[in-house]
């Protein structure tokens, strides 16, 4: 593989490209031969349950870990041989963000800004105002959610071409979470690439163009969010005024499972639920409750029997 010494902005180029990227911790494989391509200008959601290897991947991309096999290219540069140059172009939020507790938000952000060669103060205060962060308070006195805001500001403050965010909305209240998602969309609109990891599907669905799903250290699928949504298993609880029309419901295409409890039916459906609703409606539906299509179900829908 040839290494281009200059970062490239060609739209056809990948912002992130890994080849058989692996990381062993002692005898266990934290990451197992991951081939991942994230095109520039996209929001990419990196999904997986806790311990699947999301943080390991991210720390390898950041140059904080050395791969035990394979390689990672970020913005056209090999991470291992250009660590500082790669890091300078990334806005990074670690999964376990820890700042100096005795510094105020402003002191901390200015300090990191200085180490990055200077960051516009107005940009720091602008981002902080958007997220409702008080910069005069010491980081140690802030709640978990407010500390996370400090982490977000430092990731965005130098307007990097690539943002790598590990569980970014952890601890954020819904309003701030919405503001954060619009910051991500704005970054994409400005041509930046955003790589965000999460174990919450809804968060990724709301903003990502495509997702990669990681399981047990292996990348099991890379899909556009749309096609993932179509294939996702959803869980629906239908409560009827009369007895549950089990047969009619079971006959609907996409219904994978049905469990009846008194006048309620718990259904597992693949893809759209529109047909199911129209079949159920004439039987007198008293209540419909949609249960979040969790990642686990998506895993099960694709890889139920595999590991």
Query: Can residue 195 be called a binding residue for another protein (CB under 8 A)?
Result: no
Q: Which of 29, 36, 62, 172 binds another protein (CB under 8 A)?
A: 62
Output the smallest distance, CB 31 to another protein, in A.
13
Q: Does 99 bind another protein (CB under 8 A)?
A: yes
Among 22, 148, 154, 273, binds another protein (CB under 8 A): 154
Count of residues in the chain: 307
Cβ 225 to another protein shortest distance, Å: 28
Q: Applying CB under 8 A, does 58 fall inside the site for another protein?
A: no
Query: In whole angstroms, how far apart are CA 80 and each of 6, 18, 37, 69, 86?
Result: 15, 12, 17, 12, 9
Contact between 230 and 298 (Cβ < 8 Å): no
CA distance linking residue 66 with residue 71, whole number of Å: 9
- Compare residues 2 and 98 and give the one whose CB is closer to another protein: 98
Give the shortest CB-99-to-another protein separation in angstroms. 7
What distance in Å separates the CA atoms of residue 115 and residue 53, rounded to the nearest whole number? 29
CA atoms within 13 A on the CB side of 124: 20
Q: 10 Å Cβ neighbour count for 172?
A: 21
The residue within the footprint of another protein, chosen from 9, 64, 227, 259 (CB under 8 A), is: 64
Token pair, residue 228, equals 């993932």
Please tell me whether residue 27 binds another protein under the rule CB under 8 A. no
Q: By rule CB under 8 A, what count of residues binds another protein? A: 28
Summarize as ranges the residues that interact with another protein (CB under 8 A): 25, 59, 62-66, 84, 87-88, 90, 92, 94, 96-100, 102, 107, 110-112, 114-117, 154
């Amino acid at each position: 593989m040839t290494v281009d010494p200059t970062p490239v902005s060609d739209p056809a180029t990948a912002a992130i490209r890994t080849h058989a990227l692996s990381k062993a911790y002692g005898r266990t494989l934290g990451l197992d031969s991951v081939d991942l391509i994230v095109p520039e200008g996209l929001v990419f959601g990196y999904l997986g349950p806790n311990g699947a290897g999301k943080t390991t991947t991210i720390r390898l991309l950041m140059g904080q870990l050395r791969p035990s096999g394979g390689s990672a290219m970020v913005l056209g540069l090999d991470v291992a041989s250009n660590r500082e140059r790669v890091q300078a172009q990334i806005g990074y939020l670690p999964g376990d963000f820890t700042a100096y507790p005795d510094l105020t938000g402003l002191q901390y952000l200015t300090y990191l800004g200085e180490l990055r060669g200077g960051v516009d103060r107005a940009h720091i205060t602008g981002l902080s105002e958007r997220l409702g962060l008080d910069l005069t308070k010491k980081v140690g006195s802030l709640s978990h959610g407010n500390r996370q805001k400090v982490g977000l500001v430092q990731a965005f403050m130098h307007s990097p071409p690539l943002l790598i965010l590990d569980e970014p909305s952890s601890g954020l209240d819904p309003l701030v979470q919405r503001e954060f998602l619009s910051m991500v969309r704005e970054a994409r609109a400005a041509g930046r690439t955003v790589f965000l990891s999460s174990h919450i599907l809804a968060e990724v669905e709301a903003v990502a163009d495509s997702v990669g799903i990681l399981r047990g250290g292996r990348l099991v699928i890379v899909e556009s969010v749309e096609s993932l949504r179509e294939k996702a298993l959803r869980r629906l609880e239908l409560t009827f005024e009369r007895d549950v029309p089990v047969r009619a419901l079971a006959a609907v295409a996409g219904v994978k499972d049905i469990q009846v409890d008194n006048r309620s039916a718990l259904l597992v459906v693949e893809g759209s639920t529109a047909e199911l609703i129209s079949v159920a409606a004439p039987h007198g539906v008293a209540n419909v409750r949609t249960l979040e299509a969790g990642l686990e179900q998506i895993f099960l829908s694709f890889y139920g029997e595999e590991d």
